[in-house]
Each structure stands twice: as structure tokens, then as C-alpha cells.
Amino acid sequence: MTMAEFSQWLYGVPVSRYLRNAGWIVPTVQSVHILAIAVLMGSGVVLDLKLAGFMAKTESSRAVFDRYMPWLWGALAMLFLTGLVMLTAEPDRVLSNWVFWTKMALVAVAFFSTLMLRIPMRRDGLAAASPNWSIAARPIALLSLAIWVLIIVCGRWIAYVI
Amino acid sequence: MNLNELLAYLHETGLATGIRESSAFPWIESVHVIAIATVVGTIAIVDLRLVGLAAHKRSVQKLLAELLPFTWWAFATAVSTGALLFISNAPSYAQNRPFQLKLAMIALAGINMALFNVFTRRTVHLWDELASPPALAKIAGLSSLTLWTAVICFGRWIGFSLEPFG
């Protein structure tokens, strides 16, 4: 089955038709998606700038991690769920859209870099042992933030590349 | 020149036409979304602290000092990109109800912030490190969260309800 065939099949599924025809659902789900992006940016800014040494200088990495990581994961979960609803409602809009797949690839990269970066942040010993840890982590932290920004750009461009 | 004439004039300018008829619009829009997400995301941290939810800094004053510069820079970016987006199709946006409500919500959020700064923030040294700030601070935080959520929702609805000009 090709992507086009899958997309066509999904488009005709009752759930997909219902989501599409109940006019309020897609805009509402999109709004929740954007609110989740805001939570992502808020927690991402604090986490990445802490990692880079620009923010929360008097707090331990562990404290910042414990406070904001749950919000980041929660936002990602909500983004995934709302994204799934939008994809189900309008599969033709995304499944054959190269901007959408670029965005998904970036999301995968961001997801794994989040997993990898946060683990050292939890280990205060590492941060305390090397005063240059922040400087070494700086480009990685800023890259992490840049990837989220690129994802947002891709997200907006989906609508313009159909 | 009345308002409608001004809006129609804006529509015909080189700037407006240039943005409207090129890929500039989606790019400006993308920066607008990033800016809004940063405004609401950073302000939510402050608002939740005011409501009584712990942030990474216990002190409200220190939290505000650390986060608000980001909020303001992001807001300036959101307003600049928003102005360009508006100018690209002034007559259509001016008559768009969700757009009008979005601006009204932003104005109310500004008033809420001003009231907080004039009345409640004056006494912050008394409750700076309390886990549960005074009622007025909580109301300010909750109002801010509600208003900015409304800003995002109305903002999304603009795209679904825009009438073409002409």
C-alpha cells in the first residue's frame, strides 16, 4: 500500500469524516496544539538556557530539570495527540507533504536529543565537577532550542506546501 | 482620510503587496508563531508561580527579573511581525471579529499587568518567597493565563474566518 492509498483510505474512515465535518474540532485541536508549543518553548527556553549557562545560574541543574522536564514531556505528549487528531481528520494535508515529513524527522531528532541532553543535567556531580561543562554544553543547548524553532517553522509551512 | 480609506491605502502599498504576494507572509507568520509561543510560555511560568505553583526560583522578584526580559523581547517581535502581517491585508483583518477580539484580549492582558505592577507588586517584599502569594497576585496570574490562552485561540480562528478584501 502506498502512502497515497493509505491517505485515501484514512480519509474515508468514519472517524476521519466526523472530525472533518464537525467544524469546530480542527481549529480547537490546532489551538491546543499551539498552546502546547507555548509550554514547550517556555520550558525549553529555561532548560536549554540553563544548560548553556545563561539562566538559573544560582539553581542546580537537577532542580531545573526536575521542575521543567515534566512540562516538556507533557507538552510533547499533547503535541503528539493533537497532531494525531489533525492527521486523522485531514490525512491528505500532511501524509504526502514533504514539509510535514521534514518536521517529523526534526521532531525525532529533538526527541532523542532531549533524552540524551537531560540525562547529564540530572547528575549534579557532573555539573559540579567541571566548571566548563556549561561552556561545552552551550552550542548543544542552543542547537536544541534551534531545532524546536525549525520545527515550528515547518509546522507553519505545512499549510503553504500542499 | 477616514479609517476605511487608510486601510485601503495600506492594502495598495508596495510593502503590503510584497508581503501578501510572496513567501514573505509565511516566513513572517512563522516568526510570529515562535514569538507568541515564547511570550505565552515564559509568562505562563510567572503566572503559575503567582497562582502558587512552584517555579525553579522561589523568589517571585528574582523569577520576574530572570524571565520577563525574554517575554518582552518576544512580545516586541510578536508585535512587529504582527504589524507586518496586518499591513499585508489591513482591510480584511480590520473587519475580522477574531482579530478584533485578539487585540482586545492583549489590551486586557496589558491592563491586568499594569494593575498588578501598580498595586500588588509594591508589596512583593512581604510575600516574595511565600509558596502561596496573596489573593490579588493569584487573580493576576490566573487572569493572565486565561487572557493569553484566549489570544492564541482567537489568533488561530483568524485564519478560519478571514474574508478576502475587495
Q: Which helix (H) or strand (E) holds B123?
A: none
**Interchain proximity B30–A39, CB inside 8 Å:** no
Grid cell in block for residue A101: 515529513
Of B30, B41, B149, the CB nearest to A42: B41
**B31, B34, B61, B145, best to mutate vs chain A, most A CBs in 10 Å:** B34
* pLDDT recorded at residue B54: 87
Q: Cα-atom radius of gyration of chain A, to the nearest Å?
A: 19
Grid cell in block for residue B101: 477580539
Count contacts between A and B (CB, < 8 Å).
Answer: 86
Grid cell in block for residue B37: 509561543
Contacts of B38 in chain A (CB under 8 A): 38, 41-42, 45
For residue A61, pLDDT beyond 70: yes
Tell me: the pLDDT tens digits for B79-124?
Answer: 999 999 999 999 999 999 999 999 999 999 999 999 999 999 899 9
Per-residue pLDDT 10s for chain B (166 aa) are: 799 999 999 999 999 999 999 999 999 999 999 999 999 999 999 999 999 998 888 899 999 999 999 999 999 999 999 999 999 999 999 999 999 999 999 999 999 999 999 999 899 999 999 999 999 999 999 999 999 999 999 999 998 888 776 5
Contacts of B33 in chain A (CB under 8 A): 34, 37, 152, 155-156
- Helix ranges restricted to H, A52-97: 61-89, 91-94
> What value does the mean pLDDT take over residues A44-69?
88
CB B71, CB B39: distance < 8 Å: yes
Chain A contact for B56 (CB, 8 A cutoff): yes
* pLDDT recorded at residue A120: 67
* pLDDT recorded at residue A97: 95
For residue A131, pLDDT beyond 70: no
* pLDDT recorded at residue B166: 53
Of A51, A44, A143, the residue nearest B44 (C-alpha): A44
If pLDDT is split at 50, 70 and 90, which confidence band does A124 have?
A: low
Of B38, B152, B153, the CB nearest to A41: B38
**Interchain proximity A38–B156, CB inside 8 Å:** no
For residue A17, pLDDT beyond 90: yes
B-facing residues of A in 39-98 (CB < 8 A) are: 39-46, 50, 55-56, 58-59, 63-64, 67-68
If pLDDT is split at 50, 70 and 90, which confidence band does A128 have?
A: very low
* pLDDT recorded at residue B69: 95
Contacts of A153 in chain B (CB under 8 A): 30, 34
Could you tell me the residue ranges of all domains in chain A?
3-160
Classify the C-alpha dihedral B91-B97-B99-B101 as positive or negative.
positive
Of B33, B153, B156, the CB nearest to A152: B33
Distances (CA, A) of B138 to B61, B94, B127: 15, 34, 12
Chain A contact for B153 (CB, 8 A cutoff): yes
* pLDDT recorded at residue A39: 97
Tell me: the pLDDT tens digits for A67-123?
Answer: 999 999 999 999 999 999 999 999 999 999 999 999 999 999 999 988 887 766 666
CB B50, CB B60: distance < 8 Å: yes
pTM higher than 0.90 for the full model? Answer: yes
Grid cell in block for residue A3: 502512502
Distances (CA, A) of B163 to B19, B23, B85, B98, B166: 18, 20, 15, 12, 9
